[in-house]
Structure 1
Amino acid sequence: MTYLQNHTILSSNDLDEVRESIRDLASRHDFDIKGPNAELNVRVAAVESGDISLMHVTLDATKLSVTSSEQDPDGLLLYMLTSGSGVAHHCGKDLTFSAGRGFMRDLAAPVSATEDNFGAFVLRLSKDKLKNHARSLVGDDVDLMGLSFDPAIDSCALGWTIFRNTVHYVAEALDGPLREMHNPIVTAQMEDILLTQCLSLLPNSYQDSMNGRDATTVVPFYIKRARDYIHAHADKKIGLADIAAVAGCGYRGIQRGFVDAYGKTPMAYLRIVRLKRVRAILLAELDGHAISDVAKQWGFTHMSRFAQDYHREFGELPSETIRKNA
């Protein structure tokens, strides 16, 4: 599919021309094509309407390495992939991406990536503009923690699905019925929608405040990322090192963050998640399995200690749970 087909500004296989075009539109990137007989075909489409700056970039190359140094401390680039795949290193994290996924690049930090037939919408954002928009919606207290985004965006998250649909809608509108209509009111409305959804639906330090929680109880995005990892991998063997690595911070930082947010350490939080998974099975149906089998499935190898933890959490023994629901 050709995105923003009425706004194509570059179609080229000249690497130097591509570098200059991307630099003028977004930020300076250095491209290098990998492999023998490698070819590059690039299409860039861009549209600006009011303060909306939206591009679609297609880098048709089997292996392309991209590096970009730190540049604009106020700038963000949100990539919403429409094709291809790759890996990137940004803000101390290794990110994988593919069609349907996205990531947020902070232009204050460098990035390096390897891309394979990459295609993406690129939305340029201003931190100051996002902050001002947040203040206009929820008040000055939102700025207590500063604004920062998690570069990794969960492609399965409902918020990302909604935001991705909105970007497609805006692109189609600007490429179609609004192409010849210069209506500042309509443009301002679209910009408000994009800024509001960006702040409320994508993982960032303002997200909870935007969704109605007191700013003083906001859970940092890196703690929420670790929390989500625990829920998704509770049946696997994971330790504090794994959780800290996902969060992108040290042992002390992740310990303190979980205690501040949930009143317990990450490993204690994991234990409770696992206990609740066991209880859900006991309340449903064992299908001929023993309690010990279910407990071991969720990482409990010491049955006496497991029974004590279960009783402490739910006020009854596992066997009593089964009897009550027989």
Structure 2
Amino acid sequence: MPVSPTYRHVSDDPNTHADNLMGWSQLYDQLSGGGFSGEISGVCFNSIHLFRESTNLSLRQSCVVRSNGWWFGLPVSERESFRLDTRRVEEGAVAIRRGHQPFELITPARFRIFGLVISHRTLAEHLRSVLPEEDGLARLRCEILQGSAAQSSLRHLFGEILEEINRRPEVLNSAGACRAMQNSVLEAVTNLCASVEQAKGMPRSEMQHSQIVRNVRLFLLDNNDRAISVPELCTIFHVSRRTLQYAFDRVLGIGPNAYLRILRLNGVRRDLCRRETKVSVQQAASDWGFWHLSQFAKDYRTLFDELPSATVKRSESVAPQ
């Protein structure tokens, strides 16, 4: 049973970190200030990709699993929570999303998460064999499964597998051991599907606020060539300034003006780190609507704990992979 080598990537840049996750297309926006630190480690079997991701700062992550599979996400610590699109993933819950379907995560500072991607065919065949009287995949369409006991078992198994592989990488040379680990994961996921309930839906008002924030973000990314104001957003999305303020405060914990600035600063950073099309700091800042360069440099340093010129130098010093 061929297995790709295990991997481990450590990064001090959120964009590089987002690119380090195998089989995903991701875009990370740093929401809290400071120097970034992230680590991803994992292993890929024939039809299963298991990994652990750690980040030290609050992030908004735009994600797509590129394969035709299913993603399961749960915090390494049962006391941690995060947000999947418009819904909060509370303690004891597991987030789920089908491959090729874009989704967003909002994760807090000092966050660790286990991720599991299983091929659709493998999961469907296994669920049919153990749950012949029902459509097991139908349980996954709710996107969040609630069940503390099943989630705890899944978390414990993921931790044991990754720890043992890290301690004894030669275990992957055994086809029998690899098959047993994969079967254990499938069995644990099946138990989760069979024993837990769908998480309760969000209140209508909270769902509307989350949708406002998501729509604004997508609009801003599509119109990054010009500065956009809060009054303009209110007009475009037909909401009052008070509603927009409350939506951002509730979903992100920051106001829309602060978020506009953070999103644009992240855009500048991505442009400065892009090796194929180099731009000057002044040009990148102007492209994202920053006209006061000294204030821009101050805000950039506050968020990323370095000046934009340092970002350019560090990007240039990293050899293309």
| Superposition TM-score, scaled by structure 2 size | 0.52
How many matched pairs? 200
- The residue aligned with 1:109 is 101
- The residue aligned with 1:32 is 29
State the one-letter code of the partner of 2:37: N
For CA contacts below 8 A with separation 6 or more, give which structure has more relative contact order. 2
Structure 1: unaligned runs, 5 residues or longer: 1-5, 209-219, 230-240, 247-326
User: What is the alpha-carbon distance in structure 1 between the residues aligned to residue 43 and residue 183 of structure 2?
Assistant: 17
User: What is the alpha-carbon distance in structure 2 between the residues aligned to residue 146 and residue 114 of structure 1?
Assistant: 26
Consecutive aligned runs of 4 or more in structure 1 exceeding 6 Å deviation: none
Query: What RMSD in Å do the two structures reach over aligned CA positions?
Result: 3.5
CA contact (8 A) 2:70 2:97 kept: yes
User: What is the alpha-carbon distance in structure 1 between the residues aligned to residue 136 and residue 84 of structure 2?
Assistant: 28
2:91 is aligned with 1:136: no
User: What is the alpha-carbon distance in structure 1 between the residues aligned to residue 90 and residue 23 of structure 2?
Assistant: 20
Overall identity of the aligned pairs, in %: 13
- The residue aligned with 1:77 is 71
Deviation readout 1:223-248 (Å, 9 max, x if unpaired): xx56xx9xxxxxxxxxxx969x99xx
- The residue aligned with 2:164 is 173
1:88 match: secondary structure = strand
Q: Residues 96 and 60 from structure 1, CA distance in 2 versus in 1: closer, same or farther, beyond 3 angstroms? A: same
- The residue aligned with 2:10 is 11
1:45-124 alignment, distance < 5 Å: 45-61=41-57, 63-69=58-64, 71-72=66-67, 74-83=68-77, 85=80, 87-90=82-85, 93-97=86-90, 102-116=94-108, 117-124=110-117
Q: Residues 179 and 142 from structure 1, CA distance in 2 versus in 1: closer, same or farther, beyond 3 angstroms? A: farther
CA contact (8 A) 1:77 1:106 kept: yes
State the one-letter code of the partner of 2:165: L
Deviation readout 1:123-172 (Å, 9 max, x if unpaired): 11122211111233454x544975634432335x2222222222222222
CA contact (8 A) 1:78 1:122 kept: yes
Structure 2: unaligned runs, 5 residues or longer: 208-321
| Superposition TM-score, scaled by structure 1 size | 0.51
Deviation readout 1:284-311 (Å, 9 max, x if unpaired): xxxxxxxxxxxxxxxxxxxxxxxxxxxx
Q: Residues 180 and 105 from structure 1, CA distance in 2 versus in 1: closer, same or farther, beyond 3 angstroms? A: same
User: What is the alpha-carbon distance in structure 2 between the residues aligned to residue 144 and residue 104 of structure 1?
Assistant: 14
Shift of 1:70: 7.4
Q: Residues 166 and 151 from structure 1, CA distance in 2 versus in 1: closer, same or farther, beyond 3 angstroms? A: same
User: What is the alpha-carbon distance in structure 1 between the residues aligned to residue 154 and residue 75 of structure 2?
Assistant: 13
2:177 is aligned with 1:186: yes
Deviation readout 1:45-71 (Å, 9 max, x if unpaired): 12224443211111111x211122575
